[in-house]
Amino acid sequence: MGFWDGVWRGRATEFDSGSAATNAIEMTKRHPRVSLTKQGAATGNLRINLSWRMRTSDIGGLERGSLLRRPLRMFTPEVVQAHTQSMVNVDLDLGCMYEMMDGTKGVVQPLGNFFGELNEPPYIKLSGDDRFGSGTGETIFVNLDHREDFKRLLIFVYIYDQTPAFDRTHAVVTMYPSNGPRIEIGLDERHPQARSCAVVLIENNNKGELVVHREVKFVYGFQSELDRLYGWGLQWGRGYKTKA
């Protein structure tokens, strides 16, 4: 299956990363909320990174001793076994649905080449498409100097492949604000058949406060199912990725 019901029908660079703090906030079910405004981090570029690697228990023999001898091996492309025992590459993608204060809605994601813009609407930019889970992963930049233009942002991850594999990868979404500690959200819950996951919802509340809410809601469909879950109201169609 080379296409997805995950291309928004709408308008179709490189950046320096923000400063990384040495400490981190881990968002969990018990601690699901972080205020960027109260941290003094609601300005500048918010960097949101997705990285992933294979679970060592699922790649047959990649033991601790092997990692110690060849530490870079954990960042090389690996394959996972599908339920049919055939071998497939894992390709996780990072995306962002946005709703602006003026009612404008859309998506930034690799599928359909909706990479966005940082210094003009929607003030959200995807740096590229990592298809192999490299050390750098995929990164979205959000220009929070235009925070008053944002109503809500949904950061999500989806699998571009016919084989669900969230349960075979160790994926982490890390947010790097312009000030204060980084914010980490692990996607460690086992949902073998899930194809998409809503990770965090960033909302501009009625007090003018920019708040991050942990979601980590797995769904078994495509982006259109996330859309329905959060009431975005976009029109979705099928789309392909160009071959690497």
Nearest to 159 by CA among 95, 108, 116: 95
By mean pLDDT, which of 20-24, 123-127, 167-171 is the weakest? 20-24
Does 166 map to a domain?
Answer: yes
- The 10s digit of each residue's pLDDT in 126-166 is 986 544 444 457 899 999 999 999 999 999 999 876 666 78
Q: How confident is the model at residue 53 (pLDDT cuts 50, 70, 90)?
A: confident
Does 60 map to a domain?
Answer: yes
Q: Is the separation of the CB atoms in 185 and 214 below 8 Å?
A: yes
Does 66 map to a domain?
Answer: yes
Range of the domain at 86: 25-234
Does 13 map to a domain?
Answer: no
H helix or E strand, kind and range, residue 8: strand 3-8
Is pLDDT above 90 for 81? no
Does 6 map to a domain?
Answer: no
CA 197 → CA 145, 163, 164, 173, distances in Å?
27, 15, 12, 11
Does 3 map to a domain?
Answer: no
By mean pLDDT, which of 29-43, 74-88, 101-115 is the weakest? 74-88
State mean pLDDT over 76-104.
68
Count of Cβ atoms closer than 10 Å to residue 3 Cβ = 14
Does 227 map to a domain?
Answer: yes
CA 172 → CA 111, 118, 136, 182, 202, distances in Å?
20, 23, 12, 12, 17
> Residue 207 belongs to a domain with what CATH number?
2.60.60.30
- Give the global pTM: 0.78
| Overall domain count for the chain | 1
Give the best-scoring range by mean pLDDT among 48-57, 67-76, 188-197, 213-222: 213-222
Tell me what percent of the residues of the chain surpass a pLDDT of 70: 68
Does 201 map to a domain?
Answer: yes
